[in-house]
């Protein structure tokens, strides 16, 4: 008997028929005597619909109330799945995040999980019930409902698996694993049987939404056995996220390509080219709790320079507001915003022992006439900002250039 946490995403829960199919899979695991905790997302499209509704009534929704609205999608699906399981003779009970007591901080719409009360879940599992928990939501110390950020049900799943010391956490989705890149963009993308935590962490943070980044962080920290697999196929192995670095000499230099459309570039024009200027610009931005991604300071001329950086598009207005306030103090001539960029990244743990990855990446893009606007690198990734209209082309040509479409 094993304890398994299964998480089903929006498409997997997208219709009564899909929910019945999830129930049948859960029943199969119960029939093998496994204890099963299921974490579900809202039906696909529902969270977007709820956000749009809130925005219709408020141009700048109060985060506390927004969380109350957008957490309702998962409250529907937990009970629907419980009903579907009961209908086929499987004892099941649903829990909202607050009912479990998934305690989070109070950072509405991007809360972090602090602790999980296991008592109720354990008692139900021991009584032979399937426990169904609403993904994406928790409760803060004041009893306010919180949500964990888009895609947060993955994190609920992995956090529960960690808290319960589950034998495995299975993330069921609409693709059968983690691919070399998003298979919706590159049909030649190949499924990976395994990927290291490090690589998965980079892929997730660079925009591969197949797993929410915090779920990968949790899995790495608490050594959760994590697998991504398809809810549409009867039997499949999916992709195992491994702690071990792949010792195989044949391990490819590049494992995958990630991309992110959610980039906005801000340029502070004509600032004095002197020590401390980066701090004067980015200090107030950091104080406003805005994450900065790529940064570039242009070569100065006549004692002046331009300073550019990227933030997520949702933070653009706040960032320009902050800079408008400090503009005079730093002596900037103007502030420009540009939302036409995106970011494309190649990721691979093999990169640090193989020089020439950057050169190959830049050569491949230049052969297509794609201009690189910004660059950032780490030990295991190289990211470039390019015009968004070239995104799909860039991902496709890089995928081919690094032989990711070749079977290994």
Nearer to ligand ASP, 61 or 135 (CB): 135
Cβ closest to ligand ASP, residue 80 vs residue 294 = 80
**Alpha-carbon distances of 288 from 71, 105, 313, rounded to whole Å:** 26, 18, 15
259: Cβ contacts below 8 Å, ≥ 6 apart? 181, 182, 185, 206, 207, 342, 343, 344, 345, 391, 394, 395
Based on the shown chain and the rule CB under 6 A, indicate whether residue 42 belongs to the binding site for ligand ASP: yes
Residues 133 and 38 sit within 8 Å (Cβ to Cβ): yes
**Exposure of 306 in the CB half-sphere (CA atoms within 13 A):** 11
Which one, of 352, 181, 362, lies nearest residue 251 by Cα? 352
Question: Which parts of 8-47 interact with Mg ion (CB under 5 A)?
Answer: 9
Of the candidates 152, 197, 170, 155, the residue with the CA atom closest to the CA atom of residue 347: 197
Site track for ligand ASP across 65-84, x = CB under 6 A: --------x-----------
Task: Please give the residues from 136 up to 165 whose contact with ligand ADP meets the rule CB under 6 A.
Answer: 151
Residue 135 makes contact with ligand ASP by CB under 6 A: yes
Alpha helices by DSSP H, 94-196: 97-100, 119-126, 153-163
Q: Is 360 exposed, middle or buried (0-12, 13-18, 19+ CB in 10 A)?
A: middle
- In the shown chain, the binding pattern of residues 4 to 43 toward ligand ADP, with x for contact by CB under 6 A and - for none, equals -----xxxx----------------------------x--
CB atoms within 10 A of CB 62: 11
Residue 8 lies near ligand ASP (rule: CB under 6 A): no
Question: Which residues in the 94-153 window bind Mg ion by CB under 5 A?
Answer: 151
The DSSP result for 312-354, as a single string, is -GGGHHHHHHHHHHHHHHHT-SEEEEE--EEEEEEE-GGGGGS
Among Mg ion, ligand ASP, ligand ADP, none, what binds residue 184 when CB lies within 5 to 8 Å by partner kind?
A: ligand ADP
Instruction: State which of residues 92, 102, 139, 210 lies at the interface with ligand ADP (CB under 6 A).
Output: 210
In the bound state with ligand ADP, the residue whose beta carbon lies nearer, of 94 and 212, is 212
Question: How near is the Cβ of 318 to ligand ASP at its closest, in Å?
Answer: 21
H or E element that contains 266: strand 264-272
Residue 178's binding partner among ligand ASP, Mg ion, ligand ADP, none (Cβ under 5 to 8 angstroms by kind) is ligand ADP
Q: Site residues for ligand ADP, window 41-60 (CB under 6 A)?
A: 41
Nearer to Mg ion, 5 or 285 (CB): 5
Alpha helices (H) in 11-131, listed in sequence order: 16-31, 46-57, 63-70, 72-87, 97-100, 119-126
Contact residues toward ligand ASP (CB under 6 A) are 9-10, 41-42, 47, 73, 135-136, 150-154
Binding site for ligand ADP (CB under 6 A): 9-12, 41, 151, 173-175, 178-179, 181-184, 208-210, 256
Site of interaction with Mg ion (CB under 5 A):
9, 151
């Amino acid at each position: 008997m094993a304890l398994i946490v299964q998480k089903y995403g929006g498409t997997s829960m997208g219709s009564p028929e899909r929910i019945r199919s999830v129930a049948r899979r859960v029943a199969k695991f119960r029939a093998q005597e496994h204890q099963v905790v299921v974490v579900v997302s809202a039906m696909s499209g529902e969270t977007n619909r709820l956000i749009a509704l809130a925005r219709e009534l408020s141009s700048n929704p109060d985060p506390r109330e927004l969380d109350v609205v957008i957490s309702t999608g998962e409250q529907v699906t937990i009970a629907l799945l419980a009903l579907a399981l009961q209908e086929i003779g499987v004892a099941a009970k649903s829990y909202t995040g607050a009912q479990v007591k998934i305690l989070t901080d109070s950072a509405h719409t991007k809360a972090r999980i602090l602790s999980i009360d296991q008592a109720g879940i354990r008692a139900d599992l021991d009584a032979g019930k399937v426990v169904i928990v609403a993904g994406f939501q928790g409760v803060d110390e004041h009893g306010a409902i919180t949500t964990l950020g888009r895609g947060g049900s993955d994190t609920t799943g992995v956090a529960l698996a960690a808290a319960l010391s589950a034998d495995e956490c299975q993330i069921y989705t609409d693709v059968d694993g983690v691919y070399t890149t998003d298979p919706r963009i590159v049909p030649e993308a190949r499924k990976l049987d395994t990927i290291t935590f490090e690589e998965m962490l980079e892929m997730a943070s660079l925009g591969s939404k197949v797993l929410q980044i915090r779920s990968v962080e949790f899995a790495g920290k608490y050594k959760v056995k994590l697998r991504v697999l398809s809810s549409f196929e009867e039997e499949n192995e999916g992709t195992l996220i491994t702690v071990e670095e792949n010792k195989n000499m044949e391990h490819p230099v590049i494992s995958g390509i990630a991309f992110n459309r959610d980039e906005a570039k801000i340029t502070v024009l004509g600032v004095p080219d002197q020590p401390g200027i980066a701090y004067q610009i980015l200090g107030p931005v950091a104080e406003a709790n805005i994450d900065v991604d790529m940064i570039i300071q242009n070569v100065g001329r006549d004692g002046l320079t331009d300073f550019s950086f990227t933030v997520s598009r949702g933070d653009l207005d706040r960032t320009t507001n902050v800079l408008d306030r400090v503009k005079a103090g730093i002596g900037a001539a103007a502030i420009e915003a540009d939302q036409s960029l995106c970011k494309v990244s190649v990721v691979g743990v093999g990169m640090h022992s193989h020089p020439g990855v950057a050169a190959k990446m830049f050569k491949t893009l230049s052969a297509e006439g794609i201009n690189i606007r910004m660059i950032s690198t780490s030990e295991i990734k190289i990211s470039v900002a390019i015009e968004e209209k070239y995104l799909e082309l860039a991902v496709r040509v890089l995928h081919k250039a690094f032989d990711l479409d070749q079977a290994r």
